Amino acid sequence: MRRILVTGAKGQLGSDVIQALKETGYQPLGVDRQQMDLTHLQEIKKVLTMLNPDAIIHCGAYTAVDQAEIERETCYQINAEATKALATYAAERAIPFIYLSTDYVFDGTKEGEYVETDQPNPINVYGASKLKGEHHVQNLLDKYFIVRISWVFGVKGNNFVKTMLRLSEQHHELNVISDQVGSPTATADLAPLLINMLKSDKYGIYHVTNEGFCSWADFAKEIFHVHGVETKINPITTCQFQAKAARPMNSKMSKNKLVEAGFIPLPPWQKSLENWRIADDKLRTK
């Protein structure tokens, strides 16, 4: 197993997966929208046949949660139908497949941490489309990893960390939601773990985030602390924010299964946020 197809290769996770594959001696076959449009199933099949990968890490996705409420069909095409096409190819060739899913497959009403066997119940289009993708993977494949992640941040692409830093340059105060709780996930930590999974045969569904829980407001405060920013955070409720798409109030996910399978859990999110700042500074000074 040498040639690994990575979808969404220019995104914040895909770019880190490409780098991690190179560092561990694999040959990454990175494709993004320009090379393989996930809304065109025939194009997906054509590119897969041409590249003939030994495994697939499917990072590509429609992730605009609020916009998905309007662009429902496109969201399902990318997150469900494209996943089905990729999984079908992997099944025909009996190659390993990693599908990146989300905490948004849950409704957020559980007390405590979600485990992998909890019944999903998405409350927005994005979460429902990702759950449909999960079902395709489970129905078609034996050699699969479904990896549920949340609150993703990387040096490349758009994310909450970059949004907060950008807004802090324009405002002295920011209103940030304080009643949704979950865990940030650093792509720099996640990417090597995905490769370790690929090397194993411990297939199944896993919850993977950095250690520790926080609210979005707590996350924002730590972002500003790490970067020496003095912008004030005003905690607000989900109702006050009035987003188009509903979000789960509780996105806490247990990583016990990950540890029991012998995988090393990701470090505390605060430490990874500090590492993000260092990596971002290096990228800016290049």
Report pLDDT digits (tens) over 189-229: 999 999 999 999 999 999 999 999 999 999 999 999 999 99
Instruction: Give catalytic residues, as residue numbers.
Output: 126
Q: Check residue 281 and give its pLDDT.
A: 87
- pLDDT confidence tier of residue 283, bands split at 50, 70 and 90: confident
Q: What is the mean pLDDT of residues 125-136?
A: 98
In a domain, 131, yes or no: yes
Could you tell me if residue 152 is inside a domain? Answer: yes
Please check the confidence at residue 1 and state whether its pLDDT lies above 80.
no
| Helix (H) or strand (E) run with residue 75 in it | helix 72-76
Amino acid sitting at position 83: T
The reported pTM is 0.96
Residue 170 lies in a domain: no
CA 230 – CA 228 distance, rounded (Å): 7
- Note whether 138 and 277 are within 8 A (CB): no
Q: Give a yes or no: residue 216 inside a domain.
A: no
23-46 residue pLDDT tens: 999 999 999 999 999 999 999 999
- Residue 178 resides in a domain: no
Ramachandran assignment for 94, one of left (phi > 0), alpha (psi -120 to 50 degrees), beta (any other) = left
CATH code: domain of residue 137: 3.40.50.720
For residue 194, what are the contacts with CB-CB under 8 A and spacing of at least 6? Answer: 17, 20, 57, 98, 145, 147
Domain that holds residue 48: 3-158+184-211+253-267
Which band of pLDDT confidence, cut at 50, 70 and 90, is reported for residue 242? confident
Provide the 8-state DSSP code for 59.
Answer: -
* Residue 175 falls inside a structural domain: no
Is 189 a domain residue?
Answer: yes
Domain tally, the chain: 1
What pLDDT is stored for residue 139 in this prediction?
98
Is 140 inside a domain boundary? yes
Distance CA 220, CA 177 (A): 10
Find all residues with CB under 8 Å of 261, minimum gap 6, and list them. Answer: 200, 202, 206
